[in-house]
Amino acid sequence: MPRTHDLRTKLKRQIEIVGLCADPANRYKVVDLAILFNCQELTIKRDLQDLRSSGIDIHSVPRKGVSTSRSLQPAKMKELITQYTALSAFDQEIDKATSVLVGKQKTDALRNIVLLQRCIDEGIAVKLDYEKVSGEISKGRELHPARLFRADGQWRLIAKDNGVLKQFLLTKMNHIRQSDRKFKKIPTQEVDALFLNSFRSFLGTDRFPVRLHLSKRWAGIIKPRQHFEQAEVIERKDGSIDMLIVVNNLQEIAGWIVARGKGITVVEPEELKVMVVELAKGTLMNYGKR
């Protein structure tokens, strides 16, 4: 029986083969894939056989290379992306993000995930067209990818853009392609630092100490360390708790507090109290007299 590491490598390679060969512009021969994955041609042929056995119609065609005869169905793509991201040591949250990505990018979804992850692994820059918030398309943008992750129901990429670490939505990316430029891989700890005090999807290096009071009801519902990894909890005799956390964005947690309703109170900072009150007033105005 293969060792766990060998099995993970094999499964990851097989899904990457599907992602790479699903692009009609790529005409990989078996020998090309063997060189790319640093293995024997026989290994690639066995991979193709395994993939066909799993229901993927992939073949090596003379003078055409390896390709999928039919487009992958959305359900199969979601399955492959979920498997691939798990093998690449991503989080295991329920995958709304993958459904959104497949819905937007169709047959390119798996190909884009694989291409970006391989460029992260190999330290290769990517070029793409990116849709800005304004709707304007930034063409030929070059990024140095560092990490794929999911948050708030979206696949996201942390990458350096002109030397600055930024966050990008995969659903806003078009015409992703690998460049011929290598870059020095971004240290893991540098990327991890962005996530240290992230509450939801906002990543940054700001630090805001926050103290919340949770009623007995909410203390029984919310598991602080599942929401905030660094949370400190002070238990009260009445069953309520005080929760001390550090976040990198007050606006995000203000929205979370308002959405919970009665029973979660901001103790400090004052700035967060003001934000919560203003958000709550704005919500109430939606139901006022017109």
pLDDT of residue 3: 52
Range of the domain at 180: 93-191
Question: Are residues 219 and 137 both part of a single domain?
Answer: no
Spatial distance between the Cα atoms of 282 and 290, rounded to a whole number of angstroms:
14
Look at residue 92 and tell me whether its pLDDT is greater than 90: no
The answer to whether residues 205 and 137 belong to one domain is: no
Q: List Cα–Cα distances, 10 to 71, 77, 119, in angstroms.
A: 23, 18, 18
What is the domain-level CATH number for residue 29?
1.10.10.10
Label residue 223 by pLDDT band (50, 70, 90): low
Alpha-carbon span 198 to 190, nearest angstrom? 14
Among the three residues 191, 213, 236, which one is the final residue of a domain in this structure? 191
Residue 228: predicted pLDDT: 65
Residue 78 resides in a domain: no
Token pair, residue 118, equals: 């391989």
Overall average pLDDT of the 135-155 stretch: 91
Picking from 35, 70, 105, the residue at the C-terminal end of a domain is 70
Rounded to the nearest integer, the mean pLDDT of the chain is 86
Residues 230-257: pLDDT tens digits? 788 899 999 999 999 988 888 889 988 9
What band does 129 get if pLDDT is binned at 50, 70 and 90? very high
Average the pLDDT over 94-120 and give the result.
89
Mean pLDDT of 24-40: 90
Does the residue 88 lie in any domain? no
Q: Averaged over 45-52, what is the pLDDT?
A: 94
Domain harbouring 278, CATH code: 3.30.70
Cβ burial of 31 (10 Å; 0-12, 13-18, 19+) is exposed
On the question of pLDDT at 90 being above 70, the answer is no
Q: What pLDDT is attached to residue 147?
A: 94
Task: Say yes or no: 221 and 163 in one domain.
Answer: no
What pLDDT, in 10s, does the model give residues 200-214?
A: 666 777 789 999 999
> What is the dihedral sign for C-alpha 77, 78, 83, 89?
positive
> Is 290 within the bounds of a domain?
no
Instruction: Examine the domain organization and report whether 109 and 186 are in the same domain.
Output: yes
- Helices within the chain (DSSP H only): 4-21, 30-36, 41-53, 74-87, 96-105, 108-122, 188-195, 216-221, 224-227, 250-260, 270-285
Confidence (pLDDT) at 1: 38
Question: Which pLDDT band holds residue 168 (cuts at 50, 70, 90)?
Answer: very high
Residues 187, 206, single domain; the answer is no
Regarding whether 207 and 179 lie in a shared domain, the answer is no
Higher pLDDT: 177 or 3? It is 177
Give the up-direction half-sphere exposure of residue 32: CA atoms within 13 A in the CB hemisphere: 13
Max avg pLDDT among 59-68, 73-82, 123-132: 123-132
The pLDDT of residue 256? 87
Q: Residue 28 in contact with residue 65, Cβ under 8 Å?
A: yes
Q: Can you give the CATH number for the domain in which 169 is found?
A: 2.30.30.520
Residues 30-43 have a mean pLDDT of 93
Mean pLDDT of 173-194: 91
Domain count, the chain: 3
- Region 68-96: what's the mean pLDDT? 75
Task: Choose one of 191, 221, 254: the last residue of a domain.
Answer: 191
Residues 63 and 127 in one domain: no
57 lies in a domain? yes
Q: What is the pTM of this model?
A: 0.65
